[in-house]
């Protein structure tokens, strides 16, 4: 489990940027916050982030992906909201479970202290006990960093968010004025006559001010940049300088948002307000690596089939981003074709057959597993580059056991408790744990890689450290029989099989990982398995285009006519 919070040292002098959102959820305040952090990091500051999630869940581990997207796993095993993944990718940092504050976590801690008698008989209340715990968590997560960006999930006015906004109000009285900045992100829609409307922003700020918080910076989410007149009107009615109103228009790629808000001068304004300008690296000397990476022009295109059961991009957001990172590194435009593993009708099967590479992602439960097995078999038998992640790794073992090793009815015991061949099962020592949560393998663990294998070539080393989120493993009783038939377990952690592969002589790229390499991928530091998949897919596409005389152009034409992609 994640470690406990450490003691806060108030002498460190942190700067805090609190980011709230209004009008509606899903505006992109997390990307706005992450982009601000990226620009401050470019200016030489050590930046960290905290995500506040007002829901009663202790963590995101039990949430359905349709509710909040994927469950993102941190290095210490914390299961958190996907926004922390964006912070890790934008800031290129490794966060911990301490950087995610939830109502469940906070209330649980306060109630445990009450039960232990720590409050000495006092009446335990939202104010001051819950708000004090919130402030403590924020300060402890910020300790040791120059700037801490704190995103408050939800929208202003939500009843579950009120304790957090009250905590921020108190926070503003306890810190120096030049150590705190309040940024509010709102919607600026167009009316039918094409006018940018400021009333939603006005009402949102009015709601925020009624709680006792005055925003220092306003960021308008809009289709296009805010007109000068729009900025002036927002400034007048919301009581902020015109210079404090910024645009965050729609862009083709979220990684371009830092470039957009930099053009607006958001970073310089924030540094001036926080008294950081003199400490910042001069603009002419700041790193341009981010801009160079995310604006790198692609010279090739590949199509990767993502075979899953959640028809929602946020459910697999880290995979999408990892493919994008691999595209940056290989100068490739990676197009994702959604293949529904539960339906697998003619249209989805056609996308699978059209793809240059195949990914079968992780997941839990039985729904859609047969479609994943069928997709894996197709990739194996047709020499299509394949990457299996977690459950995808396990289903690759099942497929091989059934169709190559001859273990009829082989399956995962998680999916089919009556299978005659549980090639995926809980390890013997796990049966002794009564609490099933105790058997979950979470967080970063090291894998030993066999020299001379595809895995060794992919990682360039004889070990790797990646993040895990699973309970079931390859059954040790079947390992020798499976390897005799040609499948290689090239990465291991004691008796746990971590990486599988087929030799290059048998398949151009057939690779699976029990862990989730997508959680450590970054722009400029792409995940090795994803880079290897894209490279193998490029090779296949090049060969296919040569043989078919421009088939790639025909396929692109079909997509322009309305082929659905993820």
Adjacent-strand bridge partners of 217 = 183
| 538, burial (CB in 10 Å: exposed 0-12, middle 13-18, buried 19+) | buried
Selected catalytic residue, list 390, 399, 411, 501: 390
516 counts as catalytic: yes
SS3 category, 300: strand
Backbone angles phi, psi at 308, to 5 degrees: -145, -175
Selected catalytic residue, list 151, 273, 501, 518: 518
Q: What angle do CA 290, 294, 297 make, to 5 degrees?
A: 135
Sign of CA dihedral 460, 466, 472, 477: positive
| 346-354 and 369-381 helices, crossing angle to 10° | 40
The count of other CB atoms within 10 Å of the CB of residue 125 is 11
Which strand (E) or helix (H) includes residue 553? helix 551-560
Q: How does DSSP assign 152-166, residue by residue?
A: E-S-TT-GGGHHHHH
464 counts as catalytic: no
Per the CB < 8 A criterion, the answer to whether 147 and 45 are in contact is: yes
518 counts as catalytic: yes
Selected catalytic residue, list 445, 470, 516, 535: 516
Sign of CA dihedral 83, 89, 91, 94: positive
**Cα–Cα dist 459/530, whole Å:** 11
Sign of CA dihedral 235, 240, 246, 248: negative
Q: What angle do CA 128, 132, 138 make, to 5 degrees?
A: 155
551 Rama class: left (phi>0) / alpha (psi -120 to 50) / beta: alpha
**Cα–Cα dist 166/172, whole Å:** 10
187 Rama class: left (phi>0) / alpha (psi -120 to 50) / beta: beta
**Cα–Cα dist 77/468, whole Å:** 8
Structure tokens, 207: 């709601």
The count of other CB atoms within 10 Å of the CB of residue 127 is 11
Structure tokens, 544: 């296919």
Per the CB < 8 A criterion, the answer to whether 390 and 515 are in contact is: yes
Mark 31-50 as b/e (b = at least 16 C-beta within 10 Å).
Answer: bbbbbbbbbbbbbebebbbb
SS3 category, 50: strand
SS3 content of the chain, % helix, strand, coil (to 5): 45, 20, 35
Q: Do β-strands 488-493 and 47-53 pair in parallel, antiparallel, or remain unpaired?
A: unpaired
Residues acting as catalytic residues: 390, 516, 518
């Amino acid at each position: 489990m994640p470690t406990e919070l450490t003691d806060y040292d108030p002498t460190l002098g942190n700067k805090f940027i609190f980011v709230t959102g209004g009008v509606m959820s899903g505006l992109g305040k997390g990307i706005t916050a992450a982009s601000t952090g990226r620009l401050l990091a470019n200016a030489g500051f050590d930046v960290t982030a905290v995500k506040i999630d007002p829901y009663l869940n202790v963590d995101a581990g039990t949430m359905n992906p349709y509710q909040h997207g994927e469950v993102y796993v941190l290095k210490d095993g914390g299961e958190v909201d996907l926004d922390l993944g964006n912070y890790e990718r934008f800031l290129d940092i490794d966060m911990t479970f301490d950087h995610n504050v939830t109502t469940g976590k906070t209330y649980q801690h306060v109630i445990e202290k009450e039960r232990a008698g720590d409050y000495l008989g006092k009446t335990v209340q939202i104010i001051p006990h819950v708000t004090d715990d919130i402030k403590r968590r924020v300060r402890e997560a910020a300790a040791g960093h120059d700037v801490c960006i704190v995103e408050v999930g939800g929208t202003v006015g939500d009843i579950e968010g009120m304790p957090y906004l009250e905590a921020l109000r108190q926070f503003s009285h306890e810190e120096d004025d030049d150590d705190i900045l309040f940024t509010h992100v709102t919607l600026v829609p167009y009316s039918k006559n094409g006018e940018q409307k400021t009333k939603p922003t006005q009402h949102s700020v009015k709601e925020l001010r009624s709680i006792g918080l005055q925003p220092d910076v306003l960021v308008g989410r809009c289709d296009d940049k805010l007109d000068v007149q729009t900025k002036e009107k927002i400034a007048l009615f919301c009581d902020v300088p015109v210079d404090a109103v910024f645009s965050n228009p729609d862009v083709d790629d979220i990684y371009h948002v830092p470039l957009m808000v930099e053009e607006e001068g958001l970073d310089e304004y924030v540094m001036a307000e926080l008294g950081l300008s003199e400490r910042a690296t001069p603009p002419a000397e700041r790193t341009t690596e981010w801009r160079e990476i995310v604006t790198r022009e692609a010279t090739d295109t590949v199509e990767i089939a993502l075979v899953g059961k959640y028809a929602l991009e946020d459910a697999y957001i880290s995979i999408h981003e990892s493919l994008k990172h691999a595209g940056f590194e290989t100068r490739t435009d990676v197009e994702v074709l959604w293949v529904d593993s539960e339906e697998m009708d003619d249209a989805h099967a056609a996308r699978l057959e059209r793809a240059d590479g195949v990914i079968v992602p992780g997941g839990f439960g039985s729904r859609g597993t047969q479609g994943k097995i069928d997709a894996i078999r197709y990739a194996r038998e047709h020499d299509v580059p394949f990457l299996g992640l977690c459950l995808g790794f396990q289903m690759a073992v099942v497929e091989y056991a059934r169709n190559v090793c001859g273990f009829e009815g082989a399956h995962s015991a998680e999916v089919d408790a009556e299978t005659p061949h549980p090639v995926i099962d809980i390890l013997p020592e796990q049966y002794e744990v009564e609490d099933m949560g105790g058997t979950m393998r979470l967080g970063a663990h090291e894998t030993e890689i066999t020299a001379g294998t595809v895995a060794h070539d992919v990682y360039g080393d004889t070990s790797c450290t990646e993040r895990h989120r699973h309970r079931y493993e390859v059954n040790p009783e079947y390992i020798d029989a499976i390897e005799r038939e040609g499948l290689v377990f090239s990465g291991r952690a004691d008796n746990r099989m971590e990486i599988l592969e087929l030799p290059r002589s048998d398949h151009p790229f057939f690779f699976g990982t029990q862990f989730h390499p997508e959680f450590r991928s970054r722009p400029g530091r792409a995940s090795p398995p994803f880079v290897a998949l894209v490279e193998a897919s490029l090779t296949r596409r090049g060969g296919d285009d040569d043989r078919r005389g421009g088939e790639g152009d025909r396929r692109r034409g079909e997509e322009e006519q309305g082929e659905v992609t993820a």
